[in-house]
Amino acid sequence: MAYDQEKKITQYKAFGDMAKDLVYLVTGGCGYIGEHIVRLLVAEDYVKEVRVFDIREVDHIKNLSTASTTVTLVKGDITDYNHVLKATAGVDVVIHTAALVDFLNTSPYHKMEAINVGGTENIIKACLALDVTYLVYTSSITSVGPNTRNEPMLRGTEETVYSGKLGLLYGKSKASAEKSVRQANDRSTSHGKKLFTCVIRPSNIYGEKTQNLLESYIAAKSKNGRINYLEPENVDQCYIYVGNVAWMHVLAARQLQMKPELLGGQVYYSYDDTPVRQRYKLLYELYTDIDPRIQLGSHIPYWKMWLIISVFNLIAFLVSPFWTLKPFMNLGILNYMVTTFSYQTDKAFRHFGYQPKYSWEEAKIRTCKWLKEVI
């Protein structure tokens, strides 16, 4: 362990000697993962500016500037190439997190495709036009599966072959964007340089500002402190703290500059030491730290939730000429929740020395602190 730590310090010093005063662009930097990445980047002494490109402005992001690192907000639309081109000018590294995250299909697919796929193609095009040579892309496990047949994947790796039509439209859009990013690796820029890209593929994320964590807590409290759940007890999925997802992006972006031939074109699953493999057990671990009276409730059978969703869809269709009902769940999400889909890998450690920045205990403390503040 001491050797590993010494090796990491040596690599960090080597990178510091090689690269200074870098300008990073974080697309979607006012969003969930993006903000956590920005917070980590401003602490890195080789970063001169973190440029945040987002369709909305969040004032507190500007306050993240430090004595040595400036945070600059650039408001713009990822689907407008001129906006993207302006934001990318003078940038050394792009971390592209901007996306329309819509698991419930409340937006038409063409809109999701325009943002998630078209926006990514705009980023690639701008990098090539402006000689930006490093691009890290935030993908999703839903870009792999589960498929519409709900076939499981148990503790797979980045090399595991899994096929079939994707069950979520969001996953379909992320798969298309991921493919574009990987194909862009090693392409020549307008002045003969090379663009190097890699992909970070998170799974189920928890932590500060995770909206569904807050919603589930409120729901549990409304049911006399009971966490009712859909997942079978034997379902196996991966959960990772948002701070570690962000840290993996920061490390990948750094090492992509040092070892472009190794990281270029690669995809990496996000992971840490979060021990739970079922969502309801994660909720129980977190919520009992806030309120020890919280208990596990009843398992909701698949058929019952399927019937509720089907009845809701029928009612929504009947009233659609008059108003739009917002779905609480759909069959795609239901099938995702009850399907084993997990991975087990150390590829990020082997390729760029990734180790979680936050332990499970620290992740739990930080998440619960945020929940207490917003409840």
Alpha carbons 375 and 365: distance in angstroms, whole number: 15
Per-residue pLDDT of the chain (375 residues; tens, 9 = 90+): 443 545 554 555 555 555 689 999 999 999 999 999 999 999 999 999 999 999 998 888 989 999 999 999 999 999 999 999 999 999 999 999 999 999 988 889 999 999 999 999 999 999 999 999 999 999 999 999 999 999 999 999 999 999 999 999 999 999 999 999 999 999 999 999 999 999 999 999 999 999 999 999 999 999 999 999 999 999 999 999 999 999 999 999 999 999 999 999 999 999 999 999 999 999 999 999 999 999 999 999 999 999 999 999 999 999 988 888 888 899 999 999 999 999 999 999 999 999 999 999 999 999 999 999 998
Strand-pair category, 134-138 with 194-201: parallel
Whose tokens are 């009843």? That residue is 298
Do 121 and 180 contact (CB within 8 A), yes or no? yes
Joined together, the tokens standing for residue 263 give: 């990281």
Do 116 and 177 contact (CB within 8 A), yes or no? yes
What's the pLDDT at 1? 45
Please give the distance of CA 177 from its chain centroid, rounded to a whole number: 14
Question: Cα–Cα distances in Å, from 346 out to 258, 259, 263, 351, 362?
Answer: 19, 17, 14, 9, 21
Joined together, the tokens standing for residue 314 give: 């029928």
Whose tokens are 């009233």? That residue is 319
Which residue in 300, 250, 256 sits closest to 280, CA to CA?
A: 300
Question: Cα–Cα distances in Å, from 334 out to 90, 296, 301?
Answer: 44, 19, 11
Contacts of 280 (CB under 8 A, 6+ apart): 227, 229, 231, 296
What's the pLDDT at 243? 98
Q: What is the pTM (predicted TM-score) of this model?
A: 0.93
Q: How many residues in the chain?
A: 375
Which residue in 225, 204, 363 sits closest to 286, CA to CA?
A: 363
What's the pLDDT at 4? 53
Do 211 and 367 contact (CB within 8 A), yes or no? no
Alpha carbons 6 and 11: distance in angstroms, whole number: 9
Which residue in 344, 335, 371, 345 sits closest to 145, CA to CA?
A: 335
H/E stretch holding 22 reads strand 22-27
Joined together, the tokens standing for residue 296 give: 């596990």
What's the angle, vertex CA 16, arms to CA 14 and CA 22, rounded to 5? 140
Q: Which domains does the chain have, with CATH numbers?
A: 2-206+238-273+342-358 (3.40.50.720)
Question: Cα–Cα distances in Å, from 194 out to 120, 127, 131, 204, 264?
Answer: 18, 10, 8, 33, 10
Neighbours of 296 (CB within 10 A): 15
- The set of catalytic residues is 170
Neighbours of 212 (CB within 10 A): 14
What's the pLDDT at 278? 94
What's the pLDDT at 9? 46
Which residue in 265, 92, 107 sits closest to 180, CA to CA?
A: 265
Which residue in 147, 140, 148, 146 sits closest to 120, CA to CA?
A: 140
Do 216 and 9 contact (CB within 8 A), yes or no? no
